[in-house]
Structure 1
Amino acid sequence: MKKRFFMVPIILGLLLLTACSSDEAADKKSSKEKNPNKQKQEALKISMVIPGNIKDKGFMESGYNGLMKIKNDLGAKVDYIDKIKPEKQSMTNALEQLAKKQPDMIIMHGGQGSEATESVAKKYPDIQFVVTQGHVKGSNLSSFEVLQEESAYLAGAAAGLLTKSETVGHMSGIRVVPGLKGRAAFADGLKQTNPEAKLLTSFIGDQDDNALSKKYAEAQVEKGADIIFTMLNSGREGVTEVLKAKKLKHIGNVKDYVKEDPQVFIASAVADSGMAGFIAAEKLKNGTYKPNVNEQIGLENSKAVRLSLSPDVPKSVKDKIDNLKKKIESGEIKVKVDYDGPEFKLEK
C-alpha cells in the first residue's frame, strides 16, 4: 500500500510535465505561425513561378535574374517552374507543386498570377506567398510592385527633350495593367517637356513577335517618329533593327539597354521587377518581412527603378531629368497612369 501512495505524486508529476511540454509545443507552433521571420539555422528556401520564358529578354528574364540574386546574395536554396501559360489553372498547378515541398516563401512573378496565388495561399498558411507587380494580400500573402511608370515618365520626358522630328513612338505588346500604366506615364512625361510633340502609340498584341514589331516600327518611322519607346520582350529586336538601319534612337525598358547597345539606345526606363522578389526574400531573411501588405518600390530605389541615359545625352537634358526625378520622389509630380488619347494602328 505504501508503494501505491509513493507512486501517486510521481504519476501526477509526469502528467504535469507532459501537459507543460504539450503547451510549450503549442505555443512554439503558434509563435511560428504569427511570426514569418522566425529564423532557422538552415538556409531559406525560396521558390518562384515564372509564367513565361526566362530568356525572353524582358519581364520573365528579370524575375529569373531576381531569383538567382536571391540564391547568390542571400545564400538561399531556390527552386522554380517556368514556361507555363499565364492561365489560372496552369499557375495554380505550379504553385501547388512548389507548395508541397514546403519552402519558406513562394514568389509568383507577375500580377497575372494574383488570383491563383490568393487561392493557393489559403491552403498553405505556414508558407509565405508574394506576388510581384500585384495588388493582393492576405494573412500569409503580400504584393511587391516595382513602379515602372515612374521610369517610363522620365523616358517620356527625355524623348520630348531629345526628339528632332517632334514625333515620338511607343510600342507595347499585350494590354496588361503594367503596360497600360507605363504607356500613360510615358505620354505624361512627353507632354511635360514637349507639349507640342506627337505621340504614336501602339499595342501590337504580342510581346515577342519581331516580324510584327518591325512592321509597326517601320510604320511609325514613316509617320515621322525619330525615337521609339518599347515595352516589349523578345520582340524588341525587330524595332532595334529598323532604328539602326534608319540611324534613329530607341528607348528600352525593364533593364539597362544603354549598356548593351549604346549605338541605338539613347535611354532605358529601368524597372527591374526581379528586384521585387529579391526585396521580399531579403526582408524575410533579415526579419523585417510583413504579410498582408502591398509594398511599392519606386525611384527612391535606384537599383530597381531609374532612367539610364546614354553618355551622348547633353548635360542640360540630364539635369532636367534629374530635377523631374526629385519632384516625383517628393510627391510634387503625380505620375498619370491613365491614357485616353489616340492610338496608332497599321494601315490596311
Structure 2
Amino acid sequence: MLRRNFLATSTALLTALTALPAIAQDEPLKVGFIYVGPVGDGGWTYQHDLGRQALEEEFGDRIETTYIESVPEGADAERAITQLALAGNDIIFTTSFGFMDATIAVAEKFPDIKFEHATGYKRAENVATYDARFYEGRAVMGTIAGHMTESNRIGYIGSFPIPEVIQGINSSFIHARKVNPEVEMRIVWAYSWFDPAKEADAAAALIAEGVDVILQHTDSTAPLAKAQEAGAIGFGQASDMAAFKPSPRVSSIIDNWAPYYIERVQAVLDGTWESEGTWAGIAGGEVEIGEITDAVPAEVRDAALAVKDSIASGEYHPFTGPLNKADGTEWLAEGQTATDEELSQLNFYVEGITAEIPQ
C-alpha cells in the first residue's frame, strides 16, 4: 500500500515537473508596443516599429508582438497600456515621453508584467527607462546648418518644451555658432510630436522670417516638403527621410532602437531582466548620422563628420564650456562639461538665443 502510494506520488510529481517547461517553451513571449504616432509617420514611430520588426526577425516564433498606434498622451495612454496588459503581454514598451505617468500607473496594477518607457525618468521595480543622446546628433546637424545658411538665420521646430527638446535646440545653436558667429536661431513650437499640418505651418512661419535652414524635433516630413518649396534645406528627424535626398534633406539623425529591443527581450527570455535606465548615443549606435549628401560641400561634410567622430570617441562632449545661460550668467566654465543630471533637467537656452521658453 505504501509502495503504491509512493509510486503514484512520484509519477504525478515527475509528470508535473516535465510538463511545466514544455508549456513555457510552447508559449511565445508576448511583446507589446504603444506608439504616439502612426507607424507610417516616416519618423519617430516608424523607427520604433522597425525595432519591433527586428525583434520578430531575431526571435521568430519565440515571441509574438503587437502594437497600438496613434495613442494620445494622457488618459487615452493609460487605457491603451492597460489593454495590452490585459491581453497578456509579458513586456510592454511605451514609446513617448508623455506616456510616463500612464506607464507607472498601469505598472502598479500589473506587477508581474515588465514595462519599458522611452525618454522618461520615472522607474519602478517592473519599469525601466531608455533614452538616446539626440543632442549629440544635433551637434553634427548644427555644424552643417551653420556652414550652409546664407541668411545667417536657422530655424528649429520644437514639439514640447521639455529637457530633451531644449537640449537639441541648444546643441544645434552652439555648434552652428562655432562655425558661423553670425548665426541667429528662430524657434517655433508645434505642441505636437506628429501633426503634419502644424509642422508645415511652423516651417512656413520660419521661412517667412528669412530662415533658410530648418531643424525639427517633430516626426513628419512636412517641414522638408515646405523647405523644398522654398529652396531651403533641412534634415531627417528620427529616420533618414531619404525621399527628400539629396536636398532639401542634406543629412539626418536616425534613431536605431533595434539593438536595444533585442537586448531587452533576450533578457526577459533569459530571466535576467532588471529595471534600469539607459542613455546611449553615437558611440553606442543608438544615434546614427545619415548620409551627408552631395548638396553639402566636401569641406563641410568633413567638418561635420569630425564632430561626429570626436563625440563617438569620447574626446568631445557637445556641452563643453565656456557656456553661459541666455541671461548671461555662467553655466559651464572653460573645459567643464554638463552632467547627465543637468541635461535631464535642462530648462534654459544658452547665450545667444533670444527666444523665451514657453511655460
TM-score range, shorter chain: 0.7 to 0.9
Q: Which is worse superposed, 192-201 or 246-255?
A: 192-201
**Letter of the 1:113 counterpart:** F
State whether residues 137 and 282 of structure 2, in contact with CA within 8 Å, keep that contact through their aligned partners in structure 1. yes
Query: Identity of counterpart residues, as a percentage?
Result: 20
Are the structure 2 counterparts of residues 180 and 272 from structure 1 closer, same or farther at C-alpha, using a change threshold of 3 Å?
Answer: farther
1:106 aligns with 2:118: no
1:146 aligns with 2:132: yes
Gaps of 5+ in 1: 1-6, 30-38
Cα distance in 1 for residues equivalent to 2:77 and 2:203: 33
SS of structure 1 residue aligned to 2:235: strand
Picking from 321, 330, 335, the partner of 2:304 is: 321
Q: Relative to 1, partners in 2 of residues 1:93 and 1:272: Cα closer, same or farther, differing over 3 Å?
A: same
Aligned counterparts of 1:190 and 1:289: Cα–Cα separation in 2: 44
Aligned-pair distance for 1:273?
A: 5.1
Deviations 1:67-122 (A, max 9, x none): 222223332311122233211x3222222222223333111112222222223223
Select which of 112, 118, 125 maps to 1:132.
118
Bigger Cα displacement from structure 2, 336-345 vs 61-70 = 336-345
Would the aligned equivalents of 1:272 and 1:304 in 2 still touch at CA under 8 Å?
Answer: yes
Residue 216 of structure 2 corresponds to 230
Amino acid at match of 2:216: T
Task: Name the CA distance, whole Å, in 2 between partners of 1:210 and 1:93.
Answer: 25
Residue deviations 1:162-198 (CA, integer Å, cap 9, x gap): 2233221111233344323222222232233323311
The question of 1:55 aligning with 2:55 is answered: no
For 2:162 and 2:263, locate their aligned partners in 1 and report how far apart those are by CA, in whole Å: 23
- What TM-score do you get using the length of structure 1 for normalisation? 0.78
Structure 1 residues 212 and 114: CA distance shift in structure 2, 3 A: closer
2:324 alignment partner in structure 1 = none
Q: Which consecutive residues of structure 2, in runs of 5 or more, have no partner in the other structure?
A: 320-342
Check the 8 A contact 2:235/2:249 in 1, yes or no. Answer: yes
Structure number with the bigger relative contact order (C-alpha 8 A, sep ≥ 6) is: 1
SS at 2:305's partner residue?
helix
> TM-score normalized by structure 2?
0.76
- Aligned residue number for residue 55 of structure 2: 70
Corresponding residue for residue 335 of structure 2: none
The match for 2:238 among 254, 257, 264 is 254
Q: What is the aligned partner in structure 1 of residue 149 from structure 2?
A: 163
Cα drift, residue 46 of structure 1:
0.9
Secondary structure of 2:309's partner?
Answer: helix
When Rg is computed on C-alpha atoms for both structures, the one with the higher figure is 1
Change (3 A) 1:60 1:222: same
Give the Cα separation in 2 of the matches to 1:94 and 1:222: 40
Contact 2:251–2:289 (8 Å) recurs in 1: no
1:343 aligns with 2:355: yes
Work out which of the residue numbers 80, 102, 126 in structure 2 matches 1:116.
Answer: 102
Distance in 1, matches of 2:356 and 2:212, equals 15
